[in-house]
Amino acid sequence: MTQSPSLLRRTLLAGLVLASAGTAFAQASPAPVRILVGAPPGGTTDTMARTLAQELGRALGKTVVVENRPGAGGNIAAEAVARAAPDGNTLLMSFTSHAINASLYPTLPFDPEKDFTPLTMVSTSPAVLVANPSVPANNVRELIALAKSRPGKLNFAIGSLGSSVHLAGEAFKMMSGTYIVNIPYKGTAPAIQDVLAGQVEMMFANVGNAQAHLKAGKLKALGVTSPRRLPQYPDVPAIAEVLPGYQSSAWFGLFGPAKMPPELVKRVSDAARQAIASAEVKKRIEFEGATPVGNAPDEFARFVHEEIVRWAKVVKYSGAKPE
């Protein structure tokens, strides 16, 4: 069956519009796109941003650069994006702290929801509850029983106060009714070292930080913070199997300033989602122990709202304060 001339023209026109979207953005605004990161170079958030930048640039037909603005739990970078023009040239690669900071900090110079345009979630990264092999518990159920028999005698190593892994532990204590003491450290590396040495019994750690020690048998995994078991650790139960509703995965997402025009939101979000789905970006994200996502802006916005509400309860329970 042949197409009518008018239908053929409409089909060709639609294809040309889609193909030229990135070119139009580049021509309308030749300045490079900056992705601001509220963490220093070399961290997971920085890695996610740099992994995305090159493919995003190809999709948009523009140069995309990553600019690190560490400090205040990511708030310095977030404030800069909140105050930027909504022209698509200033974006934010944020992480779980975007939701946590809404209740962790008494005041913020921006509104984590109203002052941003969620574009897409880049990836999620669950944590694993790890313990020194000497701890006489081999799963979450046994740990809860042990902690209740020894209130205040077991310790969690905390790499960063107010972080997602810190609050993963607070959520665990809140939902399990256990009293486990926090031992704060200046970073994940020294925290893990003391768990390896048996100075502290256990900690929540991102999978990427723990996997080498787990493979070497120097740590044991008691549970994972994802809703379901992880494919790479099928024998390690999800904590939610014992504590229904428990979930505490770190996430990384791309935001723009508020009031971005709808057509620009779609253009940038579609380009980012295309980049996330590319083989190279997907491979790098998975290498970091994370799972690629690439959801739609409205879905990501709902998720951010739910995260803000959920973490507020944990922050209130724990009395956590920013470092």
Give the pLDDT score at 83: 98
Alpha carbons 74 and 37: distance in angstroms, whole number: 7
What region does 290 belong to: left with phi over 0, alpha with psi -120 to 50, or beta?
A: beta
Q: Enumerate the domain spans of the chain.
A: 5-125+250-318, 127-241
Give the pLDDT score at 6: 53
Common-topology check for domains 5-125+250-318 and 127-241: yes
- For 127-241, CATH gives 3.40.190.10
**Helix axes 5-19 and 21-28, enclosed angle (nearest 10):** 50
Alpha carbons 31 and 213: distance in angstroms, whole number: 44
Q: What is the reported pTM? A: 0.84
pLDDT tens digits, the chain, 323 residues: what are they? 444 555 445 444 544 444 444 454 555 567 899 999 999 998 889 999 999 999 999 999 999 999 999 999 999 999 999 999 999 999 999 999 999 999 999 999 999 999 999 999 999 999 999 999 999 999 999 999 999 999 999 999 999 888 899 999 999 999 999 999 999 998 889 999 999 999 999 999 988 889 999 999 999 999 999 999 998 899 999 999 999 999 999 999 999 999 999 999 999 999 999 999 999 999 999 888 889 999 999 999 999 999 999 999 999 999 988 87
Give the pLDDT score at 208: 83
Superfamily of domain 5-125+250-318: Bordetella uptake gene, domain 1 (3.40.190.150)
Three-state helix/strand/coil letters over the chain = CCCCHHHHHHHHHHHHHHHCHHHHHHHHCCCCEEEEECCCCCCHHHHHHHHHHHHHHHHHCCCEEEEECCCHHHHHHHHHHHCCCCCCCEEEEEECHHHHHHHHCCCCCCCCCCCEEEEEEEEEECEEEEECCCCCCCCHHHHHHHHHHCCCCCEEEECCCCCHHHHHHHHHHHHHCCCCEEEECCCHHHHHHHHHHCCCCEEEEEHHHHHHHHHCCCCEEEEECCCCCCCCCCCCCEHHHCCCCCCCCEEEEEEEECCCCHHHHHHHHHHHHHHHHCHHHHHHHHHCCCEECCCCHHHHHHHHHHHHHHHHHHHHHHCCCCC
**Token pair 């046994």 in the structure block, residue:** 142
Give the pLDDT score at 18: 41
Give the pLDDT score at 11: 43
Alpha carbons 315 and 133: distance in angstroms, whole number: 30
CA 228 vs. chain centroid, Å, equals 17
